[in-house]
Amino acid sequence: MQKFNYHSHTKRCGHAIGEDEEYVLAAIANGYTKMGFSDHAPYRNGYAPGERMHKEELDSYIESVKVLQEKYKDQIDIRIGLEFEYFEDQLVELMEYKERMDYLIIGQHGPKLFEEEFYTRNDDEAVLLYASLIEKACTKGLPDIIGHPDLFMFDKKEWTPACEEAAHRIVKAAVNADIPIEINLNGIHYGIRQIGNEKRVGYPYRKFWEVAAQYPVKVIYGLDAHKPEKYADVDAYHLVDEVLEGITLHKLEDLAFKKKL
């Protein structure tokens, strides 16, 4: 089991539960030596209850984690980050986050604020748009991790040439930016479903990771924790490893980010 996790949310986003300190205590109790909070980034005029914190909550989010950093500094290394989506009309704000936060995860969910998400909008055009937005973010030097890179397969009925192209483009973007891609451990939370002709989890999606194996791309696991108990979910590691059995990936044994805050 990986001993670091940089993908954790807080109740501020509206779809996670638990106090910040409970996540830290759960990480310590389950043997993690490094963790990071990466709640969904707020945007100007982009408040969406149930999706991301209000912009006015950002400072209290940072201060809360800083208190925990100090309180538990002898037990676990904690970093402060955000999970963002690449929206060009929010670029100035995203660049500010890049300068301010310890790290950023790109977790692209939709093409624009308040538009249908790639979970369900997954025609070939949308799949290529998903890849394009990740490429643009990487070109700008924004992400330190690419979260759930195969999310576009969550409900897609079949692996098409567009999916193959998107996978290559996303992995190449990560290699060129020298950043890891994430095997997201939250996709299995939705269970095995009939999707097209396959019975499978939404993600990780095996064919995406077969493409990743063709490149020297760095790979990490991400709990994508929306409740403290996720830190005790050892089965999640076993289940995704079963999905990806036989695929050789360059998994990192450690990952550290410089403290800025």
Does residue 256 lie in a domain region?
A: no
Structural domain count, the chain: 1
pLDDT at residue 129 in the model: 93
Does residue 87 lie in a domain region?
A: yes
pLDDT at residue 62 in the model: 98
CA angle 140, 141, 144 (to 5 degrees): 140
Residues of the chain where predicted confidence (pLDDT) is lower than 70: 46-47, 112-116, 119
Q: Could you tell me the residue range of the domain that residue 118 belongs to?
A: 4-251
How many other C-beta atoms are found inside a 10 Å radius of the C-beta of residue 251?
12
Tokens describing residue 33 = 């030596």
The span from the CA of 94 to the CA of 8, in Å, is: 19
Does residue 178 lie in a domain region?
A: yes
Angle of helix 124-139 relative to helix 161-177, nearest 10 degrees, comes to 10
Task: Give me the CATH number covering residue 166.
Answer: 3.20.20.140
Does residue 96 lie in a domain region?
A: yes
The span from the CA of 221 to the CA of 3, in Å, is: 10
In the block, residue with structure tokens 């800083």: 66
Does residue 260 lie in a domain region?
A: no
Residue 31, phi-psi category: left (phi > 0), alpha (psi -120 to 50), beta (remainder): left
Cβ-based burial of 169 (10 A; exposed 0-12, middle 13-18, buried ≥19): middle
pLDDT at residue 116 in the model: 64
